Amino acid sequence: MLLSARGNTAQFAHWNGRKWTIAKSPATTAGISGMTAVSSTDVWAVGSIISGFTAQTFIEHWNGKSWAVVPSPNNGTGSNLLNAVTAISANDVWAVGQFQDAANTPQTLTEHWNGSSWSIVTSPSAGAEFLGVAAVTSSDVWAVGLTGGTTLVEHWNGSNWAVVPSPNPAGAVGNLLFGIAVVSANDIWAVGESQNASGIPSTLIEQWNGTSWSVVASPSPGSAASLRGAAADPTSGQAWAVGNFRSPSGADQTLIEFNP
């Protein structure tokens, strides 16, 4: 069973092992940014939906037969968006993103599902946003994104969120992490892009070794390249990163990188 979502409308496609079919959503004006599954009958999708002149958090749940909107909180009266979601168990799910405070400054947003309802959990970093999240256990969860022009990594230890130092390539003026994937507690990968003074991005990959994060050299083809998502196989220890690059003709091309 595979589920995928796309774009500015909540449209889902389902793979049953033989073909893809459209799975109807109760909302047609919501944008889906992230999905995760506990099982074939317990799937979550998160994103945002426009309410008046602001965006509000949006969460849907698949129970094996249909999608249903699940109420989700918003912080303040400004825009709130959820960009990614990860599940540890049916009663332990995290969604991350950002909200705008009264001064229109972005703030990190973390929400947690306890089996009954979603609630906001305080996380540090003013002027920041989360773009990806992944979990090892219920007391070992990671979220990545950006703060200003630098990478942002935060860790949940079962009680609170805290910033963990993450490197930024020398000479870069804009660095951000879009995705994160877990091989083990001591082997975690985060991917994104690093922009030069002209705003041209190149691939950025960082690894957690159980003690600290470090930049790992990665191919950056074409005149511009970015990595937008990551996946890992704990059994084999393999990690994958996907994104795009600009070819010599100026066309965008798919990009896949692999760490054996």
Domains annotated on the chain, with CATH = 1-133 (2.120.10.80), 165-260 (no CATH)
Hey, what are 249's tokens? 């003709």
Classify burial at 167, counting beta carbons within 10 Å of its beta carbon; exposed 0-12, middle 13-18, buried 19 or more.
Answer: middle
Q: Answer yes or no: are the C-beta atoms of 35 and 25 closer than 8 Å.
A: no
Hey, what are 67's tokens? 């999608």
pLDDT for position 260: 82
Indicate the SS3 state at residue 253. strand
Residue 63 CA, chain-centre distance (Å), reads 22
For residue 114, is it left (φ>0), alpha (ψ between -120 and 50) or beta? Answer: alpha
Distance, in Å, from the CA atom of 139 to the CA atom of 89, rounded to the nearest integer, reads 12
Residues 203-260 have pLDDT tens digits of: 999 999 999 999 999 999 999 999 999 999 999 999 999 999 999 888 999 999 999 8
Asked which of 4-18, 70-84, 177-191 is least confident by mean pLDDT, the reply is: 4-18
